[in-house]
């Protein structure tokens, strides 16, 4: 049911960017700024204003896009690798699956085995609508909590609730 925490994701050490990479980014940002200034100066020339309302709507959209680019470049200017925070709480999850009479038992048992094989800390539940003795026995063998309900309403969604 639950086991010791062992992440299925490998921990990958990321190296800090090299100085040459940081300076390359900064040079590219500088070139981008120069090009952006030349473009804006060209764009705002009154000769390019055709139909006024459309021009100003497109200009607003363009300047919004340029501000987004400047915001990205601001963050790229001093790129670094953040430190990984230390988790103070070991989180767990609950995994639920449902079963209704008439569904193939083999499929449900395969699902239960797959749930039990998950390495992240968790608790497994089978919400069995039919209180099937075969599934109840399989849950006991696999180590999954078998749950059934007395009042059967709202189909499978009610079963999960």
Q: pLDDT for 72-100, tens place per residue? A: 999 999 888 888 777 788 788 999 998 88
Conformation bin of residue 102: beta by default, left when phi > 0, alpha when psi is -120 to 50: left
Domain assignment present for residue 6? The answer is no
- CA–CA distance, 60 with 19 (Å, rounded to integer): 37
pLDDT at 86: 79
29 and 57, same domain (yes or no): yes
Of the residues 77, 102, 119, the one at which a domain ends: 77
98 and 146, same domain (yes or no): yes
- CA–CA distance, 48 with 161 (Å, rounded to integer): 62
Domain assignment present for residue 59? The answer is yes
Q: Print the domain residue range for 135.
A: 93-160
37 and 68, same domain (yes or no): yes
Residue where the block lists tokens 């204003």 = 49
Residue 131, Cβ density class (10 Å: 0-12 exposed, 13-18 middle, ≥19 buried) = middle
Q: Give pLDDT tens digits for 7-60.
A: 555 667 788 888 999 999 999 999 999 999 999 999 888 888 888 899 999 999
- H-state helical runs in 98-154: 105-116, 133-142
- The tally of domains found in the chain comes to 2
102 and 68, same domain (yes or no): no
Dmax (CA) of the chain? 82
110 and 71, same domain (yes or no): no
Report yes or no on whether pTM surpasses 0.85. Answer: no
């Amino acid at each position: 049911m639950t086991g010791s925490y062992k992440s299925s994701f490998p921990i990958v050490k990321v190296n800090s960017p090299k100085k040459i990479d940081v300076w390359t980014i900064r040079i590219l940002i500088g070139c981008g700024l120069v090009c952006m200034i030349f473009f804006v100066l060209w764009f705002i020339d009154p000769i390019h204003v055709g139909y006024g309302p459309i021009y100003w709507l497109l200009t607003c959209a363009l300047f919004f896009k340029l501000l987004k680019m400047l915001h990205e470049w601001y963050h790229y200017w001093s790129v670094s690798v953040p430190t990984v925070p230390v988790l103070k709480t070991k989180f767990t999850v609950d995994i639920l699956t449902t079963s209704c009479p008439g569904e193939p038992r083999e499929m449900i048992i395969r699902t239960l085995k797959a749930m039990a094989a998950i390495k992240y800390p968790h608790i497994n539940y089978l919400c069995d609508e039919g209180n099937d003795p075969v599934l109840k026995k399989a849950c006991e063998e696999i180590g999954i909590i078998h749950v059934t309900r007395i009042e059967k309403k709202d189909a499978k969604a009610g079963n999960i609730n």
